[in-house]
Amino acid sequence: MAAGAWWASGHPVGGTFDLDGIPLAQALWSAGFVPLLLRFRPRFDELVRHPVADRTVTVFNARAVTVYLWHEVALMASVPVIDLMWEVPALERHLPVESLWWQFGVAWALIAVAVACFGCVEDVAARRRPRLLP
């Protein structure tokens, strides 16, 4: 992580130290951060007391690959979906279609559609009975 920070400090892009614009610094920083995450092992025993949180984590764990594979597609697809919303006057007036938070919400809705359509593939790969939600 120190090497990534050092590289970024010497190679600012556009006057900023945004790691997205400095690929080597981002790679070094990420390579140093992953071992830290691997050492961190939180206990999730408390989730059992909160059924909604427990169920949410269970579903995300069972559909993690689907979410990972489709999240970029959903983000890109949210733009034309929102463009279509601008064409409907009632939606344009009553929804915050110009907000990035709205795009974030639309993307999550599209991810949910992808999970519903393709999530059972993860069950088949794990040799489990395919289910809509695990």
pLDDT tens digits, residue range 26-81?
Answer: 999 999 999 988 888 778 788 889 999 988 888 888 899 999 999 999 999 999 99
pTM recorded for the entire structure? 0.68
Which residues, other chains included, contact 92 with Cβ-Cβ below 8 Å and sequence gap of 6+? 85, 86
Local confidence band at 83 (pLDDT 50, 70, 90 cut-offs): very high
pLDDT value of position 10: 92
CB of 124 within 8 A of CB of 130? yes
Report which of residues 44 and 127 the model is more confident about: 127
Q: Which two tokens stand for residue 78?
A: 């949210």
Measured CA to CA, the distance from residue 105 to residue 84 in angstroms comes to 15
